[in-house]
Structure 1
Amino acid sequence: MYRVLIVDDEPEIRQGLKLKVNWEKLGFLIAGEAGNGAEAMAMLAEKAFDIVITDMNMPLMNGVSLLEACEMRYPELRLLVITGYEDIQYAKAAVRHQARDFMLKPVARDELSEALTRLRKELDDERTEKNEASAMQWRLSQYYKEMKEQYIVQLVKENFAHERERLERAKLFQLGEWDACPVRFLTVGLRPLAYNDNQPAQDRSPEKMHLPFELVCRESLSAYGESANLFRDSSYPGLVHIISILDDKELALLTESLKRNVSAYIGMEPFIGIGHSVMGLKHWSEGYMSALLTWNLADRGMHDAARGAAEGQAALSEDTVKVLRSCVQRGDIASFECTLRRELEEAFQISRSRFTKVIFQLYLMLEALAHATRAALEDGEQLWLRPEKVLGLDSVDKASGFLMPIACRIADRHHASEERGESSLIEAVRQYIDENYMIDLNLSMIAERFNYHPSYFSELFKAKAGKTFIQYVTDVRMKQATRLLEETELSLWDIAELTGFSNASYFSSKFKRVYGLSPSEYRQKRPE
């Protein structure tokens, strides 16, 4: 609804205008009335209006002075003049101060309705333009980029209990349409070039050059817009990853650009692993894994394995991975080892390439579980740091001997967490809310995710967290909202969407209830 202020010194005229048309149906709300220009200016200073409908001949401050003041102080305001005086000077003043219409009393119903309809279209077009500009600013903001990258990492490494949850967040980050597109992942890392005596290799090691390396990769991707997105995974600090919907020709151009730019500006050769094409958000983890496998295997004496990783499907089926993951989480190490050895033996009989691929897929599954349970891996257990180690795992016994200790440590960590009982559960719930506050969260959904009855979960959460589920979610969202108000110029609509509120109006009312100020007032009073 657009807010309208009616200004006329005759109350019956103001009442007549209010009854003349169906304002609500036309998209307007009569939000204020004033008896002269001075009263109108006072109201404009207190409240926001979109349209001022004014008479011209009024005491204290007439319509001409009001138009002049509005043009100076509120240039975005739409002005509509309705007067009983057919005076050329009034008409000239209305035109000079950019009034949208000049009508004589008594105003016909159709004439007023047509004028308001034109104003409504003009305001709608302006709002659409502003929203698009604001959305562009939001998409370009660093905060948006960081959150989008975090979401991609979460999407390729974690399981989503509900498909709706996955799609909601994908749409928020302009990735909803990618669900129906074939995508490919790239993993990019550095290796030193040959150095002369005046430039020791240790001064420009991959570890020391990871930041400029990332910046050069981002710059190389800028030519491809939203068709290719770079992200970092904290599990692999020396690598950058790219997800793209580019076709084969464009992808080849991108890889050549990356190699050329990194070599020219960093003085090192990038090595790029390209995964096989996957379709659908729920299969992105598979595409990501194939890129990691390709990067780890290729150019290390395992070219056939690398080609196998980049083509076809994963070596282990999704059902097998689920069984193995469940065994570790339940602490059923005997069943895990039995399934593990069976899969390794089958792969060993097929080919060395298949065997190596299974080892990496099992390792990546365990690494994701280690991250979830916060079980630290030793340097010697991190294959991405020591990809050549897989060359030594040339038998089922050796591969099992490498993977089993990792699985046992994760199972022990998971068991220790379970022994902490409900406190550990609430800690996990709070972490989930902290990471997913921007989507639609409700008590029933969270209770189902953590296998509790909603009523019992509600009481348990309040007892352990010291506040209700709704209060906790609101606190988390408000904390993020204040951060956005302080650090960005995003519109209230963007902030509401980003922090999980259904619309800007609800967000504003909730914010004022919590802080005693509207979001706009809070932003104006933020510390410099």
Structure 2
Amino acid sequence: MFGLKAGQDRSIVLSAADTVAYGVRKYLKINAVVGIGPFADKLDRIQEIYREAKQSARNAVLHGGNRVSHWTAQLPYKANRQSIIGSEDGKLLAEWLDRLDADQIIRWTKRRLGAIAQDPNSVFVQIEWFCVDLYLLFNKYLLANAVDAEWTIGELDDMLRWLQQITRIGEIEERMIGLASNVIGVLARSGDRSGKEVMEVVRAYIDHHFAEPLSLQSIGERFSIHPNYFSKRFKEKYGESFIEYLTSLRMKMAAELLSDTDLKIHQIGERVGIEDAAYFGSVFRKCYGETPKQYRERLHST
């Protein structure tokens, strides 16, 4: 935090910040972004100033790191929130969604994000507005045309938290294109398939592919279901989490292999999707109260 004495110019603070950023880059060998908020003479405005400084620093996502970004009253994020996606854009997107035209939506998304990123006067909050507007448009369309829209795109809070963690503009493009693809994927499938039926299809897939490296993310991507909602709905329907179900399935198969084959312990672990032999043994013992070796020996001794 910098302080100014009476009569000093804000340029002194900017110069000091440049010196700090340069020292970090030169001696610590890491990139540095310095965000500077508005100047104030009252301590009770510190929180407000911090928020503005943090927002200024986020502009490095658009314009690159190794810079000092400072607040000015003219920046767009000080203006009232306005829609980035206008009514005509909304009509076009709705038409493309009606036609399941993913290519048009993806090209439009890339073009709009590129325009914001290439404008030297743009600020990060404009990217946030764009992502929120596109999310809301997709959500509204899905609510009218598909079952359980949130399975596809998740909650808005998820996106806002993610936006505060990204470090490059390319991540945003990838995320929004992925979002558009998921929406198209859901719409392309049978429109009257219920959430219950979706879970049955997913469970059948897990039953046949349990030995593969399955995860919430991979299941979500395959079935165009948001991982958070898949996890929640799976547990609601089957009374156990996806991980619990998958683990139980793998251990049941492992027990059968221990009983019916002479495969080595590590081979059985690999057969059920767990390559780490020590971890396999730990999970098996947690489920059955004894190690795989003890389990096999007990069965063979009876």
TM-score class normalised by the smaller sequence: 0.3 to 0.5
Which has the larger share of helix? 2
When normalised by structure 1's length, the TM-score is 0.21
- Larger relative contact order, structure 1 or 2 (CA cutoff 8 Å, min sep 6): 2
Which has the larger share of strand? 1
When normalised by structure 2's length, the TM-score is 0.36
